[in-house]
Structure 1
């Protein structure tokens, strides 16, 4: 799996959300995508997965421009957006079977993923009946059910209690051993627990792209480093 983002610029009217962004990812790793609110993180992730049209620049995935064969690129990507859109009136297992059918994944994979993300007790409930934490787990399940080579997660532990956060982090860590994960989060402990590399976006530009040690540098902790780089 390789991902190369070349001179990517995205504007919404007069606002520039991404300004000449260049990123290269060549190996299986868990990357922390950091930045203040409005920095351009979600725009970047949505561009990579094809949810936003690319107007300036290129995204090369596995050696191919993603605009040339969007369906093929999307087949090997998993995406959990921040707002986690789910079909609220579907039952949990019904919904995941629906997603599995789209990806032409065997039905036995559904039960495997349900166990992996810890939603077995809730699988017969309607999604609308779930707590926010369990809904987040369903969103993660749909993102990984087809074993994507690239997994993009936007605030994956949002709304989870401390025990659930640890469980989901362990799932992400296991996935990161064999796949590439891009993880957007505001929780610095999550970055420290999971990530080996940090990409920091501020005002639509990449201002840091380095390993955790270099990112922290002379500062006491990641929070202080983040604050300094985005001041």
Structure 2
């Protein structure tokens, strides 16, 4: 798997990045809109990072929220936020315990799949999500968009720059430069085509794969000149898939 330690010192940066306008006006409303009602649900935030989505899911009424991440720095930050404002979120490092397999109604995986360096690693992440879900339940993931704009300056207004290391093919390394306020940090992600993402999901046991567009809430007062370039060419996609239901033959 990709070098998880690259995230250990970036928890506060990622928490502050969640306040960026494109995330507030587009990403969060879109992702949480497709999540839908969470009352009474058991949700796994796979690759929870600083816990931004975990906390939102808990506040929206999920019965159980488990945040899982392999970055100790990210998890430490998330645990500190839970201590400051207890919401009943459980954070787990390392490997998801087997007793939690098959127990979740939803797995959310925002900015997780882009950190698989090889197809086997991508498949492993998809299988981890499938293992966690009950049959017939959903994965909602946000991989790097297969149609990203390769002009490094295109996304600069949104607080980051994207620079592929070469032509966009499966597993091409991409430099993500998070540059806003006083921050200027780099992490390495990996590009995957839509066909390969769907192949990994199907091989992991998912069906009914759907790609969702971003949406702006009608109540949002946001400058179209600011938001429309992202709507036209987002850096991340939203993909939904269902774990294959158990068949009851005869």
User: TM-score scaled by structure 2?
Assistant: 0.29
**Of the two structures, which has the highest relative contact order with CA contacts closer than 8 Å and spacing of 6 or more?**
1
User: TM-score scaled by structure 1?
Assistant: 0.31
